Amino acid sequence: MENLNLIDTFSEFKELKNIDRATMMRVLEDVFRGLLQKIYETDENFDVIINIDKGDFEIYRNREVVEDDELENPNLQITLSEAQKVDEDYEVGEEFTNEVKLADFGRRAILSLRQNLTARILELEKDNVYAKYSKRIGEIIYGEVYQVWKREILILDDEGNELLLPKNEQIPNDYFRKGDTIRAVVIKVEMRNNNLFIILSRTSPVFLERLFENEVPEIFDGLITIKKIVRMPGERAKVAVESYDERIDPVGACVGMKGSRIHGIVRELKNENIDVINFTTNTQLYIQRALNPAKVSSIKIDEENKKADVFLKPDQVSLAIGKGGLNIKLAGQLTGYEIDVYRDIEVVDNEDVDLEEFGDEIESWVIDELKAIGCDTAKSVLELSVEDLVKRTDLEEETIKDVIDILKAEFE
- 150 & 125 share domain: no
Percent residues over pLDDT 70 in the chain: 92
Query: Tens digit of pLDDT for each residue in 348-393?
Result: 455 678 888 888 888 888 888 888 787 888 888 888 888 888 888 8
The highest-confidence range among 25-39, 264-278, 303-317, 366-380, by mean pLDDT, is 264-278
Residue 343 inside a domain? The answer is no
Q: What pLDDT score does 213 carry? A: 94
Candidate from 6-20, 48-62, 144-158, 203-217 with smallest mean pLDDT? 6-20
Please state the separation of Cα 169 from the chain's center in Å: 8
Among 78, 110, 132, the domain-final residue is 132
Assess whether pLDDT exceeds 80 at residue 53.
no
Question: With the C-alpha atoms ordered 183, 208, 333, 339, is the resulting torsion angle positive or negative?
Answer: negative
Query: Tens digit of pLDDT for each residue in 198-239?
Result: 999 999 999 999 999 999 999 999 999 999 999 999 999 999
pLDDT band at residue 409 under the 50/70/90 scheme: confident
Element (H, E) at 22: helix 21-40
- 76 & 190 share domain: no
- 120 & 142 share domain: no
- 14 & 118 share domain: yes
Residue 315 inside a domain? The answer is no
What distance in Å separates the CA atoms of residue 8 and residue 166, rounded to the nearest whole number?
Answer: 38
Q: Which domain holds residue 148?
A: 136-201
Among 145, 180, 201, the domain-final residue is 201
Q: Average pLDDT of 394-406? A: 88
- 189 & 82 share domain: no
> How much is the mean pLDDT over the chain?
85
Q: Average pLDDT of 148-164? A: 93
What distance in Å separates the CA atoms of residue 170 and residue 149, rounded to the nearest whole number?
Answer: 12
Model confidence, pTM:
0.67
Residue 103 inside a domain? The answer is yes
Residue 293 inside a domain? The answer is no
Q: What pLDDT score does 22 carry? A: 73
Among 156, 179, 201, the domain-final residue is 201
> How is residue 169 annotated by DSSP?
G
Closest CA to 205 of 193, 217, 197, 213: 213
Q: What pLDDT score does 345 carry? A: 56
Assess whether pLDDT exceeds 90 at residue 110.
no
Residue 105 inside a domain? The answer is yes
Q: Average pLDDT of 261-284? A: 92
Assess whether pLDDT exceeds 70 at residue 18.
no
- 59 & 119 share domain: yes
Q: How far are the Cα atoms of 130, 138, 164, 191, 392 from residue 188, in angstroms, in the given order? A: 10, 9, 10, 10, 36
pLDDT band at residue 17 under the 50/70/90 scheme: low
CATH number at residue 22: 3.30.1480
CATH number at residue 164: 2.40.50.140
10 vs 322: which has the higher pLDDT: 322
Please state the separation of Cα 172 from the chain's center in Å: 16
- 111 & 32 share domain: yes
- 35 & 94 share domain: yes
Q: What pLDDT score does 164 carry? A: 96
- 69 & 106 share domain: yes
Q: How many CB atoms lie within 10 A of CB 23?
A: 13
Domain count, the chain: 3
Residue 77 inside a domain? The answer is yes
- 93 & 169 share domain: no
Query: Tens digit of pLDDT for each residue in 314-353?
Result: 888 888 998 888 999 999 999 999 999 888 755 445 567 8
Q: What is the identity of the amino acid at 267? A: R
Q: What pLDDT score does 348 carry? A: 45
- 180 & 165 share domain: yes
Q: How far are the Cα atoms of 34, 106, 283 from residue 109, in angstroms, in the given order? A: 11, 5, 74
> How is residue 325 annotated by DSSP?
G
Q: How many CB atoms lie within 10 A of CB 55?
A: 14
173 vs 349: which has the higher pLDDT: 173
Residues 6+ apart with CB under 8 A from 88: none
Assess whether pLDDT exceeds 60 at residue 2.
no
Residue 388 inside a domain? The answer is yes
Q: Average pLDDT of 274-290? A: 93
- 69 & 165 share domain: no
Residue 296 inside a domain? The answer is no
Candidate from 11-25, 261-275, 319-333, 388-402 with smallest mean pLDDT? 11-25
Phi-psi region of 106 (alpha: psi -120 to 50; beta: other; left: phi over 0): left
Assess whether pLDDT exceeds 90 at residue 114.
no
Query: Tens digit of pLDDT for each residue in 79-105?
Result: 888 888 888 888 888 889 888 887 777
Q: Average pLDDT of 267-295? A: 92
Q: What pLDDT score does 6 carry? A: 57
